[in-house]
Amino acid sequence: MSNAGERIRQCRLSCRMTQDEVAGYLGVAKQTVFKYENGIITNIPLEAIERMALLFRVPPAYLAGWKDILPQPLLLHEDEVQLIERYRNLPPEGQEMMQRQADAYQIMYNRPENPAPEADEPDQNTSGSGN
């Protein structure tokens, strides 16, 4: 079983993140992330484990090294990777705005469409009497 530091490093690198980015997300110094990854700090606070697990999209038990549950890799198209990188480069306000836009688009595109009337069905808005 891998230790937590190795898994943190592995997850960070697979997410193409720097120690600075992870530290910024956690609200700690870059040196703290370095110490987590290199086993200098072994008693990593549960809150930090939970936040990194959320960031890396892995179960906290996997990240902490408690279980050997290997998450399935998420294969992304290059366009998706670029979108994620743009999102990560935004300040928190920009990220919130982008999330609201994504929510709005999801609602808009997931609405059931009104089916078009069949070609041989008469249009209900016109009467056959010509009045």
Domain span holding position 98: 78-109
**Per-residue pLDDT tens for 98-116?**
999 988 988 888 876 544 4
Residue 54 covered by a domain: yes
Specify the residue for token string 């279980």: 67
Count: domains in the chain: 2
pLDDT tens profile 69-89: 655 666 778 888 888 889 888
The overall pTM is greater than 0.85: no
Q: How many CB atoms lie within 10 A of CB 33?
A: 27
pLDDT tens digits along 19-34: 999 999 999 999 999 9
Question: What is the per-residue pLDDT across 33-67, written as a single tens digit (0 to 9) for each?
Answer: 999 999 999 899 999 999 999 998 888 988 888 87
As a whole number of angstroms, the distance between CA 99 and CA 58 comes to 21
Compute CA distances 72 → 3, 20, 57, 59, 92, whole Å. 19, 26, 10, 11, 28
64 CB-near residues (< 8 Å, 6+ apart): 4, 7, 44, 49
92 and 53 belong to one structural domain: no
